[in-house]
């Protein structure tokens, strides 16, 4: 096995922590930055340090925010009366970029998965329950991913919304079972959002 100088080995190991990056890709990226783009590498290091030190979770929606007021929890967004529940910050950004939705969000930071030890507490569902009791919520949009865990989570969230008397809709058309929102193209996601339907069992008396 090849031996590298310690700083290079450390850089390669750090890059391997990125999703989808294996040893070969990490080595290639590390050498590219060292050989051809040291300015870019410095910019990356500075940007990463600033993000780690300046970003925190919004206490209301759980999306990342800086020291300013959360851009996703404004009064203008509350006025729409819609609360969209997503699994991850990447899903929120996908909806913002590919649809016309400009209501409020709640980011679960995961999905119900007993095998992985992810339950209601880890998803901040007490915080979500507080939002559902707020008078401004007229529709809760379930935008969990169409996976087995995502569907289970959507059912659980639907029961919460029904208990609070909040109408529920679910993204439907165009999303393949097992797909992830952040990987859908603009047209597919926009169509799914526009074609959301009432969750089965909702408003049935």
pLDDT at 47: 97
Cα distance between residue 115 and residue 179, in whole Å: 20
pLDDT at 205: 45
- Could you tell me if 75 and 13 lie in one domain? no
**Residue 193 pLDDT > 60:** yes
- Could you tell me if 50 and 68 lie in one domain? no
Q: What is the dihedral sign for C-alpha 86, 92, 95, 96? A: positive
Look at 176 and 100; give whichever has higher pLDDT.
100
Give the residue-averaged pLDDT of 32-52.
96
- Could you tell me if 46 and 102 lie in one domain? no
- Region at 182 (left for phi over 0; alpha for psi -120 to 50; beta for the rest): alpha
Report residue 16 as tokens: 């391997």
Q: Is residue 1 part of a domain?
A: no
- Could you tell me if 39 and 71 lie in one domain? no
**What CATH number did the domain enclosing 132 receive?**
3.40.1360.10
pLDDT at 175: 56
Percent residues over pLDDT 70 in the chain: 87
- Could you tell me if 99 and 166 lie in one domain? yes
**Residue 143 pLDDT > 90:** yes
Q: Is residue 189 part of a domain?
A: yes
Look at 129 and 173; give whichever has higher pLDDT.
129
pLDDT digits (tens, 9 = 90+) for 123-133: 999 999 999 99
Q: How far apart are the first and last CA of the chain?
A: 67
The total number of residues shown for the chain amounts to: 205
- Could you tell me if 47 and 77 lie in one domain? no
- Could you tell me if 99 and 140 lie in one domain? yes
- Could you tell me if 35 and 79 lie in one domain? no
- Could you tell me if 89 and 156 lie in one domain? yes
Give the residue-averaged pLDDT of 109-120.
90
- Could you tell me if 126 and 181 lie in one domain? yes
Give the residue-averaged pLDDT of 28-53.
96
Cα distance between residue 68 and residue 90, in whole Å: 20
**Residue 148 pLDDT > 60:** yes
pLDDT at 173: 54
Structurally, how many domains does the chain consist of? Answer: 2
Average model confidence (pLDDT) across the chain: 88
**Residue 199 pLDDT > 70:** no
Query: Which residue range forms the structural domain that includes residue 36?
Result: 6-54
- Could you tell me if 13 and 105 lie in one domain? no
**What CATH number did the domain enclosing 34 receive?**
1.10.8.420
Q: Is residue 88 part of a domain?
A: yes
- The answer to whether the beta carbons of residues 54 and 67 sit under 8 Å apart is yes
**Residue 1 pLDDT > 50:** no
Q: Is residue 204 part of a domain?
A: no
- Could you tell me if 77 and 174 lie in one domain? yes
Q: Is residue 133 part of a domain?
A: yes
Q: Is residue 191 part of a domain?
A: yes
Q: Is residue 59 part of a domain?
A: no
Confidence at 19, pLDDT banded by 50, 70, 90: very high
pLDDT at 69: 84
Q: Is residue 15 part of a domain?
A: yes
Give the residue-averaged pLDDT of 81-104.
95
């Amino acid at each position: 096995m090849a031996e590298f100088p310690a700083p290079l080995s450390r850089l390669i190991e750090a890059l391997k922590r990125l999703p989808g990056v294996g040893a070969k890709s990490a080595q290639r990226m590390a050498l590219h930055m060292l050989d051809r783009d040291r300015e870019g590498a410095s910019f990356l290091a500075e940007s990463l340090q600033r993000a780690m030190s300046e970003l925190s979770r919004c206490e209301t929606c759980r999306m990342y925010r800086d020291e300013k007021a959360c851009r996703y929890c404004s009064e203008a967004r509350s006025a729409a009366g819609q609360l969209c529940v997503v699994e991850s910050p990447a899903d929120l950004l996908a909806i913002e970029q590919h649809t016309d939705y400009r209501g409020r969000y709640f980011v679960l930071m995961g999905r119900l998965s007993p095998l992985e030890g992810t339950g209601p507490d880890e998803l901040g569902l007490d915080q979500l329950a507080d939002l559902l009791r707020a008078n401004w919520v007229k529709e809760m949009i379930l935008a969990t991913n169409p996976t087995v865990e995502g569907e289970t989570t959507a059912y659980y969230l639907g029961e919460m919304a029904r208990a609070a008397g909040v109408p529920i809709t679910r993204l439907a058309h165009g999303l393949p079972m097992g797909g992830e929102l952040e990987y859908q193209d603009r047209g597919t996601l926009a169509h799914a959002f526009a074609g959301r339907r009432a969750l089965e069992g909702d408003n049935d008396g």
